[in-house]
Each structure stands twice: as C-alpha cells, then as structure tokens.
Structure 1
Amino acid sequence: MGYANLHSCICDLERSGQLRRITIEVDPHLELAAIARRAYARQAPALLFERVRGCRFPVLANLYGSLERTRYIFRDSLPRLQALIGAKSDPASLLRPPTRLLAALHGASHLLPRRRRSAAVLTHRCQLHDLPQLVSWPADGGPFITLPQVYSEHPAQPGWRHSNLGMYRIQLAGNAYAADQEVGLHYQIHRGIGVHHQAAASRGQDLPVNVFVGGPPALAVAAVMPLPEGLPELAFAGALAGQRLALAQPPGWPLPVPAEADFVLCGRVAPRQTKPEGPFGDHLGYYSLIHDFPVLQVERVYHRPGAIWPFTSVGRPPQEDTSFGAFIHELTGTLIPQVLPGVRAVHAVDAAGVHPLLLAIGSERYTPYSPCDRPQELLTQACAILGQGQLSLAKYLLIANEQDAAQLDIHNCAAFLQHMLQRCDWRRDLHFHTHATIDTLDYSGTGLNQGSKVVIAACGPPRRPLPEQLPERLDLPSGFSAPQIALPGVLVLQGPPCFAPGSQPTADLQRFCSHYATDHPINSFPLLILCDDSAFAATTLENLLWVSFTRSDPARDLYGIGAFQQDKHWGCNGALVLDARRKPQHAPPLEDDAGVIRRLESWAVHGGPLHGII
C-alpha cells in the first residue's frame, strides 16, 4: 500500500537508508537550495533539515532526487496504475495475462476521493511569515514555494470532478506583496487554472484557490502530470497512491483540502488584479524576469501537527525535476500513439530546457507503394504534436520516419541528431511557424510568450556522410574563431559577442554566410552553430543542447549558406547556421553565490556535517 502522508514516506525512506537527517542549522536564504542542488548531483539520499534558521518547521529536500527513489516511493501502486493506463491505450492488454485485469480494476477502485469529517491539517493555523522563507538563487525576488499543489474548481461546475491541480509557483513575499496577506500566483499559458480564472472573471467573481504543500507524495506527481481533460488530478493521485485520497472541508470555505496535507493556504484571486512577480531562477538555467501575474489574497494558512515542508530547487538541467519528467514519461509514454496517431514516441529534451526541443518518431504511410524520399505524413503528425497541450510550446521539433531506422532510440539525442543530419535536405525540410506561442520562461523570442517554431522533418536513405574532422581550410571571417566538432556533422564556432555596444546579430550572421560559396568545404558539415564559447558548447552533449536551443529563436536565429526564398518557403543550398549567442533580450544565466559555496565546501570536507552528501 502507498503512503497516506508525507510522514509515513519519510519514515520508510529512513528505514531503507534513503534519507539523511541534517541537524546543523541551515540558512533558508541560498544555503538550503545550494545544498539540495549539489545533493541531487551526487545522487545523495533525501535530506530532512531539522533546523532551518528563523523557522520552526523542518524542510525536506531531494525527495525525488533519483528516478530509482521515485519508483521506490510508488512501487506498490505502479503495476496497478500501469495496467490502468495500458487499458486505455490497448484494452486487449488486460487479458495478457488475465491478472492485469484484476490489477486495473484494483487501481480504478482508488480513483474516487473519500470524505473525512476531520483532518489533521486543519488543527493548527499560522501566518505566511511563519512558513520557510526559502530563496534559491541570489537574484530571486523573494522566497518561493517550489513544490506547491494549486487547487481550483470550475465556477460553473463546482466539485472535485471539474477541478484542476497544478504546480504553479508561489512567491511568498517581496516586491509589492502585502506582508502576510498576498502571494504571487505565477501560472503560465496552457494551464488548467487559467480556464477557471477566466470563467470566474467573466462572471465578475473572485476565484477561490487552495495551495497544498506536502501530503501524500502522489499529489505532487499528479500536479505535474499531463492528464487528458476530464480526468481530475485528485483521482489520478488516488490511483498513484494506491488508496483513495481523503478530503476534508474547512469550515466556511468552499474548497476541500487533502486531509493528510502538511500545509494549506486558502485564498481568492481577483478577476483582473496583478502585481509584479519574480525574478526567479528557473529550470531553463536562467532567471525568469519580473512580470505581472495574478495575486492570491490569502485568508487562512493551516498546518498539521509535526508538519514538514517539502522543497526543491530548479536550475539548469538536470535537477530534481528531471526525475519527475522521466517518471512521468514512464507512466504516459504508451499513450502517445493513441493521442497522436502515427506517432510512435515524443521526447521533450530535458538538457535543452524541456520545451525548447522536441524529438519525435513518426511514420510515413501515405504512399506505401512508392519509395519514401520526402516527408509527407510526418508534416501532418508534426502539426498534431504542436497542437497538443504543452507540446505546443516547443520551438524546435525534429521528427524522423520510423521505417528508416526501426532501432532509433528517441532518448539517445546524439544518435537521433546524427540520423536527422544524414537525411535532411535544407532546401525542403525546414517548416517555420512565425509569430507563435512559446514557453513563458523562454526569452529567446520577441516578447513574453512570443516567438517562433520550426519543424525539421527527415525521411529516406542517408544523403551525406557526417564529417568528424575539420577541413584543411576553413577561412573564417573576421570575428569568428575557435572551431570545434561537437558531434559528427556539427561544427561549433565562436562569434562576435552580441552584448557589445552597437552589435548587430543579423549583420554578423549575414556576413558569415555570404563569406562562403555553397561548394566550400565548410558545407560538408550540415549544421554550424555559432556561440559565445565554442569550447564550452562542444565539451559535452548537454552543453551543446543547452546553449543551442535555449539561446535561439528559429525564425530570428536560423540562417543558411546559399539561402533562398521561393513560394514563401525558406531554405538553403549549403549548411544550416544556428546563431546561439546570447542576445541583449536574453535573461541572465544562473550563478551561485560564491560565499555560500565556499561555506558549503567547508562543511563537505571529511568529518564535516555534509561530507558525502554534496
């Protein structure tokens, strides 16, 4: 049986050697988050900080710090849940073997929440300033809740069956928020709470909202699951926990709360009120800057006896949320062919910041009676992918044909990129969507939520070998230097800085491309990437993906040698050139506070309180 609350999970992890208690006092300002990030990098156990400076509540970090530990937490319910998900994608699978049917039925029995008259979480009240004031990065605008479960119901259809539970960050203090009264509610586009907020605003009403912290671990995972419309996250949490979710009703409040939650903030969101929120060090590896977002007017803060505050710190991938993503893919990957006919798999690349880069494997079935020498159905499938929920936020979608390489692994990014580069025809296979919607956290486009997309589709036999050595003559234009081969067929070069006064990114790239004829040896590399530090970008595949796809917008930053436009289609006869230099509109990258790191390193020496953890 799964865990009914966070306390039982912590006790089990401690018994199995997967949790360490930290008894030294730790500062919630930068120290705790820096420890958590380094603990994740070391694949350390979950960490329970018992003494948090200025706060009476203990803090739990690195709970989902490895995919193995995440699987362990849900080990009892996973077979039943996978049978239930498999039944949706392939009902006949329930009979192979027959025990799958029993497992699926058992899992379905946990979908309906149950009501309790009383709840531990409603026994105590506190103020916002009593909660852990955790600040993760030096330029953050204040303390944030980083594992919130934000609950709302549709105003026209109240009740949990039409509810939404999402993980939308909450700024606890700072900026212009009224102390102990207001918190920032940062929800982005394509989020379910937006539908509820719009419905309430159209009626001229405030939207009641609960923010849960802690509780059964299944609740946090359910809050980030890409569930189909009509399946409430509360129901999924019960199936994942292996037991029906217990709900209780606070007196005089319209929304229920999980009876086993550790904390609950109850408040209301006005129809049109916003205040500046941020900055916040985010999962792309940069700060999301200050923007206006809704305000939650907090009316009550509840907590249970012995409440524990779970916390995570995000930053340049991989971080703890990487384990979340991998676990979710394991649960939902089998549903892709059903939701997107003809598509075998889709992979949002964590190292590239998740939303900037999607890899997909589709299938060409339009003309099975003739050779497949150009993308056809792949383009239809690409449109379907970009029309699916949060997948629509992608900037780069690379889609390959399953029939060309049945063994192609969508999670082997290096092999996938090489497969594409062997087959792409830059005169034909680039398909742009301009003035489109991108991730709120991505500043490579033209404005907040604004940018472009490109679909790169490839099918057929290889068109070219991919070089692995530099040509004898490159004859680089002035200002361009330090060529490095990052992958076969991918040449990385260092370009003039875009932050220099008077710099003109477009002029630099046009000068670079016009320097070469289409028969120049540099075109043996199908992809040229220009960046600020070619040695850094070429050192690891993770560096290459992060630099290339978080620092570029397809419509503005893709160029080509021998470029042309015909019938409103853009292509090039030579190499494709990606400008991945930092631009003036980009957000600053995340950097640790040097003094904090020195202090932590002194604690990590042999015999120190954090030895073996960070």
Structure 2
Amino acid sequence: MQDVIQWLKDNGNLKIIDEALDVELEIPHVAYIEVKKEDSRPILFTKPVNKAKGIEYDMPVLMNIFANKEITEKIFDKHPDEVAEGIGELLKLKPPKTFKAKLAMVPKLFSLKNVFPKRLKFRGECQEIIIPKEEVDLDRLPVLKTWEEDGGPFITMGQVYTQSLDGSMQNLGMYRLQQYDSNRLGMHWQIHKDASHFFDQYQRAGKKMPVTVAIGGDPLYIWCGQAPMPHGMFEMLLYGFVRNKNAQLVKSITNDIYIPRDVDIVIEGFVDPEKMEIEGPFGDHTGYYTLKEPFPVMEVETITMKKEPVFAATVVGKPPLEDKYMGWATERVFLPMLKPMAPDLIDYNMPENGVFHNLILAKMKTLYPGHAQQFMHAFWGVGQMSFVKHAVFVAEDAPELEDFEELVKYILNRLDKSKILITQGIVDHLDHSSKKQFVGGKLGIDATGDEVESGMEALLDDSELLAKMQQIDSNIVALKQYMIHTRNPVCVIAVKKERSMRELIKELKVLKSHLKVLVIVDQANNDITDPYMLIWRVVNNIDAQRDVKLKGFIAIDATNKNSMDGYKREWPGDTFCTKEVLDRLQQKGLIDIDETFIKKFGLLPF
C-alpha cells in the first residue's frame, strides 16, 4: 500500500472531486453526507483552498478512507475475525510437552518475529522534504474546519506518537489537534489516555515532552491509533500482527520518537507542561460539541513530508460516520481479549448510533443467577470498556446481535425491573450528561432469563394515549409507541420542556396501566418516528442515576438538562450543517440530498 491513492482507485471505488472547495465547511460537508450513504465511497479532493486566507494548497485531501465494511476488510487484507482468531490462539498458547508439539509451535513462534516494529537507521520517504523551525507554517497544510461553531481548524486524523519519560514505552493515539496559529497545536489527549499519563510524568519532572504527529501512510496506522490496546503496549505491535510484517519506523528529525517511514506528513515538536491553552469547542463524534477546556499546547519544531504528500482527514458528528466501520473492525479484533475476564462471553456489539462507549449489547452463556450482573461489573472495570454507560446482556438463544429489530423484541419480552442494575462509575471525557465530569451513572440490563409473565394491562392506541397525557400536561406534543406486541412496549413522547421531567413522570403514574417503558425527549430536533436517531439521543442524554426511574413503570428522561434538573454544567449543542453551504454544494451538483435525508440524519435544526 505504498500508493494509497492508487490502491483506493483499484480497490475502493475512489471518488475524485476536482472542483476547488474550501477546507472550511465545504470539504467536510461533502464528506459528512457521503459517509451517510449506503454506498459510501472514499473521496479525494484535489483542489482544496482556504478562501478566507486566500490559500490554494498544493496537496490533496483524502477522506472517508474507511468508507464501508468491504473496504475496511480490504485494508486489513482479511476479515477482522481472522485477526481475532489469531489473537485468540496466542492467548491460549501453552508450553509444549512433547517434541512433536514443539515442532508444531515453531511456525507460530516464527511468525511472531514480524510483530515487532523495526527501527531503521536511515531516513524515510516521510522525510524527503524537511521544513526547518524558522520556516514552519501550519497554513501549508489543508487543515479542516468541520463545523461552524468549531474553535478553529482541526487535524482530525493525526497519528500522535509519544513516549514515556524514561523512553521505555511508546504510544500511538488518534487525538484531534486544534491549529492555533502557524506553529502551535492544541493537544486534546483525554485524561484517561496513555499520552496524558506520559504527560503527567513530564509535568512532575518539569521537562518538556516530545511529540511527533504523523498524517497519512498505510490506513492501518490510523486504525491502530484508535485501537484499545492494554496500557503500555505499543500499537505498532498490532500493525505487525495484522500485516504479518514489521512496521518500519524511522527516527524523528528533532526528537527520539520513531514513526512509520511511509507516512505522508510529520509534525514534530514538544509540549511544555507549564503551558495550557483553551481548546475547542469542537463538533465531536458524539454528535455534540465538546466545550472549551484547557489542554496542553504543542510547539512545532519542524515539519517533514513526502515529495507529493496526501493530507488524510476524517469528519465527525452524528452517526453514521466513518468510525462505524473502524469501530466494527475494533469490536471484532478485540473480542478474544475480553474473553479472559468474561470467559462465557459469546459475542458483543457496540452500535454506532450508541456512539460505541454509550451502549454495548452482549451475548453470553448464563450458568448461574447473577451471572449477567457479574459480567456488568467486569466490563465496567476493564480498560476502555470501563467507559461504557449502558450494557444489555442476552442469552445464547437470542437473535444475532446485529439483527436489531428481533433483538429488541427479545429484550423487551424479558425486561424485568428487578434485573436492572443502576450504579456509578467512570464515564468518557466527552460524556456531557453526568452531573460531574468523568463520573456518572451506569445502567445494566439482564435480559438473559425467561420471558416475563405480565405484559401491558391495557394497551391504548397512540392518539388515545396522547389525549390522556395532554390532559395531564399540554406540553406533551407528540407520542409514538414501539414494539406494542411485546411484554414491554416502548412509548416515546416529545415535550416542550418548561419544568423538570421528574414532576411529569410522577403525574403520569396515573396512567401506569397503559405504560411499561416511557421515554421522554425534547420536541426540538427529535423525530419520534426515527428509532435510529432516538437511540443516539437517549444514550447520549441520560445519566442513569438521575434520569431512569423504576417505580410504577420504567421512565427515561432523555431531554436536554438544565438548572431545572439540578444540572449546573453547560449543556452542549448538536452538530448541525450550515444551510448555506449545503445549498451551495447542492447547486454545484456535488451533493444530492432532499428534505427526507436532511431530517433523517439531523443535518439541520427542526
């Protein structure tokens, strides 16, 4: 994969746009719409410009590299399940007891020599052009501004290479980088990440921390950067395992960090532990803006690149996104690593509209009472699984985890309030729903048992139930019931919120014979006929300890929170496209969308 563009032409149905488009909003909007199509394709923008700064860039922008499952599998050169099988075999290796067994193990051990990165003593293709410190200008790179309210342009597919203070550990992470000016970047490594842990070491020692950021090269580098490797393990080991060949690394020009020889662009610098700067806001992969917050600043020492570099970028916002397919590969590859701590786990799925860390579905063999609850605690206590907010467990007789409609029926027929666990734990840095940053409610559902006996006492049609509710509160403006033939139908209502929903839930208890599961969302920007986006909204917006009530019926308050709810943090806004940009792109024939598409994916407010 030396020439990624040619490879994508041959293998990925690469879409090429030769019209000059702005790195501010225009290019990201085209990519954002493309990735939501069923036949999504990677896109090469050959003429990026920055109209505000009067810049015509001399390098193309490549987006949607992981455009679909087929191309993701081709990038791996195998199905991710095959990678998982190999990892599973390694985890089960035992010392051979016979000479014959030793001989049988030789090929496996011999192949492991390809796992370890190889450090080269010469410069790589990524260092064909070297820009010295006095000539560094980040404006030479077509850094994108995706959303109107973003704090500035952001590098969104940067491979961030760091190492521990003593040099014994190296890490590759994929963190966004805000461009402040010509030679400074905001380093958004979240508090729980390895790079942040390394930063703490340098901060305590009072030393500047070297950082090298790579862009482009083999797309598998990008995937490795977001892979949830165990603490202290260099992600390039995973690259070697998947490719069955050593990652070839070269030393950075100005520090001792090694990076792949064949990446397109390298940005080298250091972070001064004494300097912090406000980073953000940024429309993130949760579909919400992450708010302004102080983060370390990288001061750039040099930029190196290939003679004809390609600038790789991704677009984030509301699902579905490119991370749907990257996350699918991660989910498959890392299944064997979950099984040692949950040996009766059969499979798991992290739906993209659950924003991965907000929802996990797991299938397991249940061997004794409380087994599912045991799994919940195990998941919430291990690595990046500890950030999962909502976990639903089903038994081995459940439908396939990607057969969502049948799976939901299975779960609702087994939903029992006595088997719902609500607790507290760590939550992702980007989670906005919790009362306090980093710590919030967790919800686990044990749906592994038999179907519950009792169903709805008196099912009403939507219009009749809505009329009864509006007699209680006229701010309830819409209602739709789902899965009415299951033991636990789901009733979704949209409200004009003028008070705490805790009060409304109490008042609606007079209708408990007509309700099993009640979900409340704001009227604004929610289509209650669209279950895909409703799931996205609900799992983003709830803190289980505050927003899930189990008395009378199960009630879930998924409205935006404010002071009426005792919520004192700033509630972030949705990521919305800029209408003028969409109209302009539509007129040029670069996108083809209608009102149905716009509403389905929440592109504009409504």
Structure-2-length-normalised TM-score: 0.85
Q: C-alpha displacement at 1:424, in angstroms?
A: 2.9
Q: Find out whether 1:510 has 2:512 as its counterpart.
A: no
Contact 2:482 2:490 in 1 (8 A): yes
1:483 counterpart residue number: 479
Q: C-alpha displacement at 1:528, in angstroms?
A: 1.1
Q: Find out whether 1:448 has 2:437 as its counterpart.
A: yes
What is the identity, as a one-letter code, of the residue corresponding to 1:577? Answer: A
Query: How far apart in 2 are the matches of 1:496 and 1:484?
Result: 12
What is the identity, as a one-letter code, of the residue corresponding to 1:417? Answer: V
Counterpart selection for 1:555 from 541, 545, 553: 545
Residues 360-393 of structure 1: CA deviation (Å, up to 9, x unaligned): 2233324xxxxxxxx4122121101001112111
2:378 counterpart residue number: 384
Q: Find out whether 1:583 has 2:561 as its counterpart.
A: yes
Q: C-alpha displacement at 1:76, in angstroms?
A: 6.2
- Which consecutive unaligned segments of at least 5 residues does structure 1 have? 174-178, 367-374, 564-573, 608-614
Query: How far apart in 2 are the matches of 1:363 and 1:82?
Result: 20
1:570 counterpart residue number: none
Q: C-alpha displacement at 1:292, in angstroms?
A: 1.4
Contact 2:456 2:514 in 1 (8 A): no
Q: C-alpha displacement at 1:341, in angstroms?
A: 2.6
Counterpart selection for 1:411 from 392, 395, 402: 402
2:178 counterpart residue number: 171
Structure 2 vs 1, CA of residues 46 and 383 (structure 1 numbering), >3 Å: closer, same or farther?
same
What is the identity, as a one-letter code, of the residue corresponding to 2:371? Answer: E
Contact 1:84 1:108 in 2 (8 A): no
Q: C-alpha displacement at 1:80, in angstroms?
A: 7.4
Structure 2 vs 1, CA of residues 550 and 28 (structure 1 numbering), >3 Å: closer, same or farther?
same
SS at 1:184 equivalent: strand
Contact 1:483 1:491 in 2 (8 A): no
Structure 2 vs 1, CA of residues 32 and 100 (structure 1 numbering), >3 Å: closer, same or farther?
farther
What is the identity, as a one-letter code, of the residue corresponding to 1:106? Answer: S
Counterpart selection for 2:357 from 349, 355, 358: 355
Q: C-alpha displacement at 1:605, in angstroms?
A: 7.3
SS at 1:329 equivalent: helix
Instruction: Count how many residue pairs are aligned between Structure 1 and Structure 2.
Output: 559
1:41 counterpart residue number: 36
What is the identity, as a one-letter code, of the residue corresponding to 2:291? Answer: L
Query: How far apart in 2 are the matches of 1:108 and 1:413?
Result: 41
Structure 2 vs 1, CA of residues 455 and 283 (structure 1 numbering), >3 Å: closer, same or farther?
same
Counterpart selection for 1:25 from 9, 20, 23: 20
1:599 counterpart residue number: 584
Structure 2 vs 1, CA of residues 79 and 531 (structure 1 numbering), >3 Å: closer, same or farther?
closer
Contact 2:458 2:513 in 1 (8 A): no
SS at 1:302 equivalent: strand
Mapping of residues 215-234 of structure 1, within 5 Å: 215-234=217-236
Structure 2 vs 1, CA of residues 497 and 83 (structure 1 numbering), >3 Å: closer, same or farther?
same
Query: How far apart in 1 are the matches of 2:392 and 2:150?
Result: 34
2:164 counterpart residue number: 154
SS at 2:334 equivalent: helix
Structure 2 vs 1, CA of residues 377 and 597 (structure 1 numbering), >3 Å: closer, same or farther?
same
2:513 counterpart residue number: 521
Structure 2 vs 1, CA of residues 211 and 551 (structure 1 numbering), >3 Å: closer, same or farther?
same
Residues 457-486 of structure 1: CA deviation (Å, up to 9, x unaligned): 233211146669951664322233432113
Query: How far apart in 2 are the matches of 1:313 and 1:550?
Result: 19
Contact 2:124 2:262 in 1 (8 A): yes
Structure 2 vs 1, CA of residues 255 and 534 (structure 1 numbering), >3 Å: closer, same or farther?
closer
What is the identity, as a one-letter code, of the residue corresponding to 1:544? Answer: L
1:370 counterpart residue number: none
SS at 2:401 equivalent: coil
1:612 counterpart residue number: none
Q: C-alpha displacement at 1:601, in angstroms?
A: 0.9
Q: Find out whether 1:133 has 2:143 as its counterpart.
A: yes
Residues 545-586 of structure 1: CA deviation (Å, up to 9, x unaligned): 1122112111111123xx2xxxxxxxxxx3100011122343
Mapping of residues 269-284 of structure 1, within 5 Å: 269-284=271-286
Give the percent of matched residue pairs that are identical in Structure 1 and Structure 2: 25
Residues 238-290 of structure 1: CA deviation (Å, up to 9, x unaligned): 33344322211234422122211111111222235321111111111111111
Mapping of residues 166-245 of structure 1, within 5 Å: 166-173=173-180, 179-245=181-247
* Greater Cα offset, 265-274 or 388-397: 265-274
- Which consecutive unaligned segments of at least 5 residues does structure 2 have? 50-54, 563-569, 593-606
Q: C-alpha displacement at 1:450, in angstroms?
A: 3.2
RMSD: 3.0
Residues 167-199 of structure 1: CA deviation (Å, up to 9, x unaligned): 1111112xxxxx223211112243111221122
Query: How far apart in 2 are the matches of 1:506 and 1:136?
Result: 37
Contact 1:84 1:105 in 2 (8 A): no
Q: Find out whether 1:437 has 2:437 as its counterpart.
A: no
Query: How far apart in 2 are the matches of 1:468 and 1:415?
Result: 23
Residues 47-69 of structure 1: CA deviation (Å, up to 9, x unaligned): 11111112222110111111101
Structure 2 vs 1, CA of residues 264 and 123 (structure 1 numbering), >3 Å: closer, same or farther?
same
1:540 counterpart residue number: 530
Contact 1:189 1:440 in 2 (8 A): yes
Mapping of residues 25-174 of structure 1, within 5 Å: 25-42=20-37, 43-53=39-49, 54=55, 55-75=57-77, 81-82=83-84, 84-91=86-93, 102=107, 105-106=110-111, 108-124=113-129, 125=131, 126-156=136-166, 158-159=167-168, 162-173=169-180
Residues 289-314 of structure 1: CA deviation (Å, up to 9, x unaligned): 11112221222222121010011101
1:393 counterpart residue number: 387
Contact 2:358 2:540 in 1 (8 A): yes
What is the identity, as a one-letter code, of the residue corresponding to 1:384? Answer: A
Contact 2:80 2:329 in 1 (8 A): no
SS at 1:494 equivalent: strand
Structure 2 vs 1, CA of residues 466 and 71 (structure 1 numbering), >3 Å: closer, same or farther?
farther
Query: How far apart in 2 are the matches of 1:545 and 1:274?
Result: 36
Structure 2 vs 1, CA of residues 587 and 269 (structure 1 numbering), >3 Å: closer, same or farther?
same
SS at 1:197 equivalent: helix
Residues 405-444 of structure 1: CA deviation (Å, up to 9, x unaligned): 2x43223333333323222321x2232223x321222211
* Greater Cα offset, 457-466 or 297-306: 457-466
